[in-house]
Amino acid sequence: MLQKFINLTLLVLFGSAALSCSKDSNTPTTPAVVPTVKIENASLARTASAGTMHFNVSLDKTTTVPVSVDFTLQDGTATSPKDYTSASGTVTIPANQSNAEVAVQIKGDPTDTRQNNLEFTVQLSNPKGCTLGVSSAKGTILTEDGMNFTTDNAGYSTPLTYPGYTLLWNDEFSGNSLNASDWNYETGNGASGWGNNELEYYTNSPKNVFVSNGNLVIEARKEAIGGFNYSSARITTQNKKAFTYGRVDIRAKLPKGKGIWPALWMLGSNITTVSWPACGEIDIMELLGQEPAKMYGTLHYGASSATHGSKGTSYTLPSGTFYDRFHVFSMEWKQDQIKLFVDDNLFLTVNKADVGSSPYPFNAPFFFIFNVAVGGNWPGSPDATTTYPQRMIVDYVRVFQ
């Protein structure tokens, strides 16, 4: 049975017939016109069960005699036998035909693990009756859309209870999908890149936002979509969950890279009637990916864009980066005062008196926004050093009063 399985795996298909990849006594002879052989790249989405990836081998012209070429498989980020079944053999293209296939058995993954796509190489050699044109092809096992994502849980954490506070609302992201009773998806690029000339297109696709192993994951990718070159996600609790005063804790691990701009923030619920910045904005956490150890907290206010004002500062970790491990971004919010913390270290206090003559908008309901932007006026555009995908991973958000 084992030999039968191996022979089936190494079938070379052409037309309605099938040839074994092993050599036989009918060695091709040199044709009058020598064709050039090439092999094409192939890909296959990994599923829970095994599958077969097909590589097309073709000639630029047919001949009156059969031709052949040997092939071997070479590991890359995909390795045998973990990801595919190693094989070698000979592809024979019969007389008066121009195509054949190399079939490679791909291993299944019942865990549906999300990781960077895996690659291996099919290498051609020893042509008989033909010459080598494109002699190698990449085989890509598509694993980037898996729904099972794991990450190291190391880092700072905060309790579920505080003296004098009651847990009013929380999302521990313990299910298999985002809770539609609490969260909305905002899609597209907004007006002028959400007012910041951002370069991403926000989607509601599980490629960009999903829940796995107790975490919310917002993933920015470099891909063409909606006329833009990057995709990401932006979610809000607008018209579903809004809060005034209390303590907020958000445990998260942040992305990095030039032009990557994650944010955990809030807007006044009256934005649809008074617009920004009159509604107020509380940036609990913003980070510029080119400075992965430094984050910013800022409050925005003003009766109109012409009178926009802000109060904020930055916090730099004493060691490591916000990409390396989880940190907790907190707010203590009471009438006429807001304090921001990182890992319970106070770094910003804003009082009503600090906004001067501007209206103070922070004694009213606010809703949450979580997003990862790409590019924009503040971080600038990504460059060649920026790698993808980049992920913001949120363990929990908790509101106490």
Distance (Å, rounded) from C-alpha 21 to C-alpha 38? 17
Alpha-carbon separation of residue 99 from 26, 92, 356 (angstroms): 18, 9, 77
pLDDT band at 33 (very low <50, low <70, confident <90, very high): confident
What distance, in Å, lies between the first and last C-alpha atoms of the chain? 67
Alpha-carbon separation of residue 377 from 67, 151, 218 (angstroms): 59, 31, 21
Q: Are residues 133 and 174 in the same domain?
A: no
Q: Is residue 244 part of a domain?
A: yes
Q: Is residue 153 part of a domain?
A: no
pLDDT digits (tens, 9 = 90+) for 161-218: 999 999 999 999 999 999 999 999 999 999 889 999 999 999 999 999 999 999 999 9
pLDDT digits (tens, 9 = 90+) for 327-344: 999 999 999 999 999 999
Q: Are residues 134 and 171 in the same domain?
A: no
DSSP class of 197: I
Q: Are residues 336 and 204 in the same domain?
A: yes
Q: Are residues 136 and 173 in the same domain?
A: no
Distance (Å, rounded) from C-alpha 122 to C-alpha 105? 13
DSSP three-state, residue 307: helix
Q: Is residue 121 part of a domain?
A: yes
Q: Are residues 246 and 318 in the same domain?
A: yes
Task: Look up the pTM and report it.
Answer: 0.88
Structural domain count, the chain: 2
Q: Are residues 277 and 178 in the same domain?
A: yes
Q: Are residues 8 and 72 in the same domain?
A: yes
Q: Are residues 274 and 379 in the same domain?
A: yes
Q: Are residues 94 and 228 in the same domain?
A: no
pLDDT digits (tens, 9 = 90+) for 349-396: 999 999 999 999 999 999 999 999 999 999 999 999 999 999 999 999
**Domain extent at residue 70:** 2-142
Q: Is residue 156 part of a domain?
A: no
Instruction: Please tell me the predicted confidence (pLDDT) of residue 29.
Output: 55
Find all residues with CB under 8 Å of 269, minimum gap 6, and list them: 238, 239, 242, 279, 364, 365, 366, 367
pLDDT averaged over the chain? 93
Domain of residue 179, CATH code: 2.60.120.200
Active-site annotation holder among 101, 286, 291, 332: 286
The arithmetic mean of pLDDT across residues 241-259, rounded, is: 98
Instruction: Please tell me the predicted confidence (pLDDT) of residue 32.
Output: 66
The arithmetic mean of pLDDT across residues 91-120, rounded, is: 97
Q: Is residue 341 part of a domain?
A: yes
Q: Is residue 114 part of a domain?
A: yes
pLDDT digits (tens, 9 = 90+) for 112-129: 999 999 999 999 999 999
- Among 108, 142, 176, the domain boundary falls at 142
Percent of the chain scoring above 90 in pLDDT: 91
Surface-to-core class of residue 264, CB atoms within 10 Å of its CB (0-12 exposed, 13-18 middle, 19+ buried):
buried
Find all residues with CB under 8 Å of 89, minimum gap 6, and list them: 10, 12, 20, 21, 22, 70, 71
Q: Is residue 243 part of a domain?
A: yes
- 281 is an active site residue: yes
pLDDT digits (tens, 9 = 90+) for 138-161: 999 999 999 999 999 999 999 999
Q: Are residues 228 and 94 in the same domain?
A: no
- 200 is an active site residue: no
Identify the H or E element spanning 342: strand 337-342
Instruction: Please tell me the predicted confidence (pLDDT) of residue 30.
Output: 56
Domain of residue 96, CATH code: 2.60.40.2030
Instruction: Please tell me the predicted confidence (pLDDT) of residue 161.
Output: 97
154 C-beta neighbours (distance < 10 Å), count: 10
Q: Is residue 155 part of a domain?
A: no
Q: Are residues 173 and 287 in the same domain?
A: yes
Active-site annotation holder among 101, 144, 198, 281: 281
pLDDT band at 239 (very low <50, low <70, confident <90, very high): very high
- Among 125, 142, 159, the domain boundary falls at 142
Q: Looking only at Cα atoms, what is the longest distance across the chain?
A: 94
- Among 142, 159, 193, the domain boundary falls at 142
Q: Are residues 273 and 386 in the same domain?
A: yes
DSSP three-state, residue 263: strand
